[in-house]
Amino acid sequence: MNFKDNKAIYLQIADRIGDQILAGTLTPDGKVPSVRELAAEIEVNANTVARTYDHLQQQGIIYTKRGLGYFVSPDARETIVARRREQLMQGEMDYFLGQLKAVGITPEELQQLYSDYLNK
Amino acid sequence: MLQINHISFGYNKKAGDLFSDFSLNLEAGNVYGLLGKNGAGKSTLIYLMTGLLTPREGESLLDGVNVRHRLPQTMSEIFLLPEEFELPQLTLKRYVSINAPFYPRYSADDMQRYLDIFDMGGMMDVQLHSLSMGQKKKVLMAFALATNTRVLIMDEPTNGLDIPSKSQFRKLVTTGMSDDKLMLISTHQVRDISDILDHVVIIDQNRVLLNTGMADVTSRIAFRPLREGDQPIFVLQSPFGPLGAVRAQDGEETKVDLEMLFNATLQNPAAINQLFTTSK
């Protein structure tokens, strides 16, 4: 697995698991790979993956059943969408809008672009 | 688990001591990265840890037993994969049948699994001396992990490995690691191993400059482009502006840049250590 430099690895792994939940690869109440399985698969230290799972559990995205491992929370999808929306609005959206302004894209053009994108 | 207590050692009087009153404590359940410049004494330290060299003063203990006695109970729990080595003129199968009995927890299933990771699953009947250096390294590495010794020490394991093998090496370590094992990887190839480490130990001129968990590094130091008002501990000029290591603030957590951490620690060990001794 390739990691970006700007974010702690355990958080990048959390994002990937979030992606899989949103894509439906991991389903509500479905089992998440064990810490060791995932560590071996993505070639990352097991304690780093354990940290990812702690983090996801704190956010209510996964839950643990004693002795059975980790599972996807029933409302994981909503939690992830809400969090990502918040993150987008706080950070990337500002940068994105700045770029639009810099190259002179009008609100009407943006609306058209976004409508076209949704209809693709 | 592995304790180095106040050791002093030099190869000869004229050159002086490489280590004097040096101590280090390593615990099970961790993958340690041992980093240091050329000549810092990494390999010597490894030999002192494993009983291949005997310190003039002090001792190296494995679970309280001095390794210099090289007792069977000690030697059956340590595997050292050296940077360079020769293998005898035998088939791999024969080599394993001769050497595996020294290691009570050796597993043939694990051996097969680790060879498979390196795409060398069908190699048990191959003549060892016909292999390239990289292949020899992979075969011995698979055997080293399959012995399931509690201590596994690897000196520059990724040297001589081709590009796909470096990823396979990481898979081998993350697959073979468990809570009762201690792995120590001595290397200059920090990019190869950064993601698989629990703990980093940086040594120089017979001192431990830094000895800390990677999670602790993440929470205390940020590695990123510098912003106005930053008070960096280390600065690296790049074509896109200065990068640096700064005290992590407001919960920012970046990926650990092991190369920058190493350079920063060598340049200013006091400033780095202060970040770890003060509260967040």
Q: How confident is the model at residue B276 (pLDDT cuts 50, 70, 90)?
A: confident
Give the tens place of pLDDT for each residue, B24-52. 999 999 999 999 998 888 999 999 999 99
Give the tens place of pLDDT for each residue, A57-91. 999 999 999 889 999 999 999 999 999 998 888 87
Q: Which residues of A touch B255 (CB under 8 A)?
A: 3-9, 12
Locate the domains of chain B by residue range.
Answer: 2-205, 213-277
Q: Do A6 and B224 touch (CB under 8 A)?
A: yes
Q: Looking at the structure, do residues A35 and A66 belong to the same domain, yes or no? A: yes
Does the pLDDT value for residue B264 go beyond 80?
yes
Please give the pLDDT value at position A1: 65
**A84 belongs to a structural domain:** yes
Q: Looking at the structure, do residues A82 and A71 belong to the same domain, yes or no? A: no
Q: Which residues of B touch A9 (CB under 8 A)?
A: 195, 255-256
- The H or E element spanning position A62 is strand A62-65
Q: Looking at the structure, do residues A41 and A91 belong to the same domain, yes or no? A: no
CA distance A73 to A56: 10
Give me the mean pLDDT over the B137-143 stretch.
Answer: 96
Give the tens place of pLDDT for each residue, B163-199. 899 999 999 999 999 999 999 999 988 888 889 999 9
Q: Looking at the structure, do residues A68 and A81 belong to the same domain, yes or no? A: no
Domain count, chain A: 2
Model confidence, pTM: 0.86
**A107 belongs to a structural domain:** yes
Q: Looking at the structure, do residues A64 and A83 belong to the same domain, yes or no? A: no
Please give the pLDDT value at position B39: 82
Per cent of chain A over pLDDT 70 is 98
Give the tens place of pLDDT for each residue, B97-138. 999 999 999 999 999 999 999 999 988 999 999 999 999 999
Does the pLDDT value for residue A115 go beyond 60?
yes
CATH code for the domain defined by B2-205: 3.40.50.300
Q: Which residues of A touch B198 (CB under 8 A)?
A: 45, 47
Q: Do B171 and A39 touch (CB under 8 A)?
A: no
Q: Domain of A113? A: 77-119
Average model confidence (pLDDT) across chain B = 91
Per cent of chain B over pLDDT 90 is 66
Q: Looking at the structure, do residues A17 and A69 belong to the same domain, yes or no? A: yes
Instruction: Quote the ipTM score.
Output: 0.77
